[in-house]
Structures are given as C-alpha cells and as structure tokens.
C-alpha cells in the first residue's frame, strides 16, 4: 500500500496554522526530518522501501520535498533558511570540503561498509543506490544479441542509427569507446578524449544525440535508432509495456546517487539516523523491490524476485565488467569535455 507523501510546504503551513490557533510556539513534540529528492516513481520507491519503514520503526516523521537542485541548497545555506535535512544527488555537487554541506557522522552511519564497493562513502555523502546506463537495442531491428559497447560502435555488423546522450559530455561512452579501441581499464584515466572521439568518428553520421532520457527509449523502441545508451530502469519499464526493446548488461555504466546533509540542517541528528537506516546493509537492498535500482552498500542483499532487473545483481566480469566513471576526474574536467563533445557533434 502506498502512503501519501507529506510535502515540506504542506507541513510548514499546517504547523503555522496550529501555532496561530493555539497562540503558542506550536508544533508537536514528535521528531521530524525533511528528505528531498527528485519526485516521481523514484521518490515513491524510496518512500515504500525506506522512508515509511523508518518512520514506523523510529517514530520520526519524514517530511518530503522535491525536486532537489544544488542551487536551492546553496541559496538555503547562504540565507540561513535551511529547510532540508537530507538531500539526494550526484557526486558532482562535490562531497569533500564543500562549504554548503555537513560532514557525515560515521559514528552513526556505517561508512566503512562501503569500502569494498564501487562507490565509497565520502566525507560529505553516502552512496544510496546504483543505476546504470546500458546498451539498449530494438529486438526487431537488430539481428543476434549484442553483448557490450563494442556492438554499439560496430555499424557493419549492426547497421542503423544510434541514440546517444549528449547532455553529460558522453560520460561513460568515452570510456566505452576507449575500451573498444583497446585501451586497458587501468589506463583509462586521464581520458584521451580526442582518441575516443576519433574512434567514434566513423559512426558520427549514424548518431542521434538526445538530452532527455525519455528520448532514448522512444528512439530505440520506435526503431528510429537500433541501439542507444539508455537507463536500465527505463528499458525494463518499456519491456513491461510490450515495446520491442532489450538490453545488454555487458559493460553497463554505473551511476550512483548519494545522500548528503545541507549545512545548518535543522534536524541534523535525525538526518544522520535516516541516512544510517537507508544505507545499512540490512535495509539498502529493499529499493530493488520497488524500482530497477541496485543497492550501493556492497553488503546488502536483493530479494530473489528482484534479481533480474537490478544492475548490481547483473554485474559481469572480465571485459564485460561494469564501467565505473572516475568521479574526481569528471568533476574536474566535465565542463571542458562537454564543450569538446558539443563542438565535435556540431562539426
């Protein structure tokens, strides 16, 4: 059963009304924590997997808000009007020495449990779940079964257009191109962007660039593109809707969202408790029962029913092992790479 999501604005209005009616400082004696993410199916899955159970176990009410933007967090901190206690986002916010974020209390949060995983806990952020970009292909247009990105770049064996995400500077796809061109994984960084784009040059005329993830599914399922680099969860959903689309787990490109605490969060103690609950080995795998994500905690387990669609449960080995982009390198070079890729596409 889905429970209604209590939004921060609605709670603030309720508290203000109660305060006026009672003629006092108002509010209940119960503890609250405000959680902000991106809304939609993802936040509903988090509600069902983690937020509602946390409230039931601790008695702490979880108030929710969306969408998260880094600009909002910065504005809250600068004005001293911080209303979010826990926010979700990517590592690109900067999770070390960031003046708008609190340090994670690793006495409360089991930071050490992430040491052996693909994404370690950072000074100011804890991994929450893993999703991936996969090679998606149209089952009616592609003969045989593609296995990894080498098939994406092979237009002789698999002719046709390719959908490619141009919104992130070909993050992950540059790594895939270099691997297909014979670069060893341990030698990927610093990325040789020019070499990667040179390898992609022969299929440049077959690329259809997109910036909205929904476009990837539409392009591939319609057959306008025979392959694309799409989010795994969106491919699964399209399959369930009967679209002629499938995916290859080989060299899936891992992405990870993190939980962090804005500087000056009003309920910092409750924030650390919530992060500890969500990211624990005991609870982190629950997300896979509600959406096609995988746990970020390497010690978390995924239920038998959810194994087929979870990225972390479909982690292959050898040359087909997941590609894990180097976050520090991308954080430092992202703007320059995006400009280079944009110029390459336009040339």
pLDDT (tens digit per residue) in 237-281: 999 999 999 999 999 999 999 999 999 999 999 999 999 999 999
Per-residue model confidence (pLDDT) at position 29: 54
- On whether both 174 and 321 belong to a single domain, the answer is yes
Residue 1 placed within a domain: no
Structural domain span for residue 238: 131-255+314-346
Contacts with 134 (C-beta within 8 Å, 6 or more apart), sequence order: 229, 230, 231, 232, 235, 247, 248, 249, 252, 253
Q: Are residues 185 and 226 in the same domain?
A: yes
- Identify whether residues 219 and 335 lie together within a single domain: yes
The answer on 114 and 247 residing in a single domain is no
- Residues 102, 45, single domain; the answer is yes
177 is a domain residue: yes
Residue 273 lies in a domain: yes
Q: Which of 14, 99, 83, 2 is nearest to 47 (CA)?
A: 2
Q: Are residues 189 and 291 in the same domain?
A: no
Same domain, 227 and 274: no
159 in the same domain as 272: no
Domain co-membership, 197 together with 116 = no
Asked if residue 2 belongs to a domain, the reply is: no
Estimate the crossing angle of helix 193-200 against helix 173-180, to 10 degrees.
70
**Residue 249 Cα distances to 6, 110, 289, angstroms:** 37, 30, 19
Task: Answer positive or negative: Cα dihedral of 152, 154, 157, 158.
Answer: positive
One domain, residues 280 and 219: no
Q: Return the CATH number at 42.
A: 3.40.190.10
What is the token pair recorded at 127? 């991994």
Report the pLDDT value the prediction gives residue 216, as an integer from 0 to 100: 97
68: Cα separation from own chain's centroid: 13
pLDDT tens, the chain, 347 aa long: 344 455 665 444 333 323 333 333 333 358 999 999 999 999 999 999 999 999 999 999 999 999 999 999 999 999 999 999 999 999 999 999 999 999 999 999 999 999 999 999 999 999 999 999 999 999 999 999 999 999 999 999 999 999 999 999 999 999 999 999 999 999 999 999 999 999 999 999 999 999 999 999 999 999 999 999 999 999 999 999 999 999 999 999 999 999 999 999 999 999 999 999 999 999 999 999 999 999 999 999 999 999 999 999 999 999 999 999 999 999 999 999 999 999 999 99
Q: Is residue 3 part of a domain?
A: no
**Res 253: pLDDT:** 98
Tell me: do 189 and 219 sit in the same domain: yes
From CA 226, how far away is CA 203, in angstroms rounded?
A: 13
As a whole-number percent, the residues of the chain with pLDDT over 70 amount to 92
Structural domain count of the chain: 2
Same domain flag for 100 and 150: no
Assigned token pair, 135? 């090679």
Inside any domain, residue 125: yes
**Residue listed under structure tokens 């629950």:** 286
Full-model pTM: 0.89
- Taking the C-alpha atoms of residue 331 and residue 301, their distance in angstroms, rounded to an integer, is 30
The rounded distance, in Å, linking the Cα atoms of 259 and 52 is 17
Q: Would 47 be classed as within a structural domain?
A: yes
Taking the C-alpha atoms of residue 298 and residue 332, their distance in angstroms, rounded to an integer, is 27
Q: What is the C-alpha separation between 150 and 153, in angstroms, rounded?
A: 5
Tens digits of residue pLDDT in 278-331: 999 999 999 999 999 999 999 999 999 999 999 999 999 999 999 999 999 999
pLDDT of residue 8: 60
> What was the pLDDT predicted at 7?
63
């Amino acid at each position: 059963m889905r429970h209604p999501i209590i939004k921060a604005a609605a709670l603030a209005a309720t508290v203000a009304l109660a305060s006026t009616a009672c003629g006092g400082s108002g509010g209940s004696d119960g503890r609250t924590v405000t959680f902000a993410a991106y809304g939609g199916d993802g936040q509903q899955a988090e509600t069902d997997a983690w937020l509602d159970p946390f409230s039931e176990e601790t008695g702490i009410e979880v108030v929710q808000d969306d969408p998260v933007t880094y600009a909002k967090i910065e504005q809250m901190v600068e004005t001293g009007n911080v209303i979010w206690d826990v926010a979700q986002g990517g590592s690109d916010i900067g999770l070390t020495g960031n003046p708008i974020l609190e340090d994670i209390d690793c006495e409360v949060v089991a930071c050490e449990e992430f040491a052996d995983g693909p994404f370690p806990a950072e000074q100011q952020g804890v991994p929450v779940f893993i999703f991936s970009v996969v090679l998606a292909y149209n089952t009616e247009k592609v003969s045989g079964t593609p296995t990894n990105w080498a098939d994406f770049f092979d237009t002789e064996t698999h002719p046709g257009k390719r959908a490619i995400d141009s919104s992130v500077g070909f993050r992950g796809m540059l790594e895939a191109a270099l691997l297909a061109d014979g670069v060893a994984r341990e030698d990927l960084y610093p990325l040789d962007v020019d070499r990667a784009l040179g390898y992609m040059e022969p299929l440049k005329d077959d690329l259809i660039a997109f910036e909205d993830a929904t476009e990837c599914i539409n392009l591939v399922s319609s057959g306008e593109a025979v392959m694309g680099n799409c989010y795994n969860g969106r491919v699964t959903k399209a399959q369930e809707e009967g679209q002629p689309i499938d995916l290859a787990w080989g060299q899936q490109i891992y992405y990870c969202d993190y939980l962090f605490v804005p500087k000056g969060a009003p309920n910092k103690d409750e924030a650390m408790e919530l992060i500890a609950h969500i990211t624990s080995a005991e609870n982190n795998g629950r997300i896979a029962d509600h959406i096609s994500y995988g746990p970020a905690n390497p010690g978390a387990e995924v239920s038998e029913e959810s194994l087929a669609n979870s990225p972390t449960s479909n982690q292959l080995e050898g040359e087909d092992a997941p590609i894990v982009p180097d976050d520090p390198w991308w954080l430092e070079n992202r703007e320059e790479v995006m400009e280079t890729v944009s110029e390459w596409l336009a040339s």
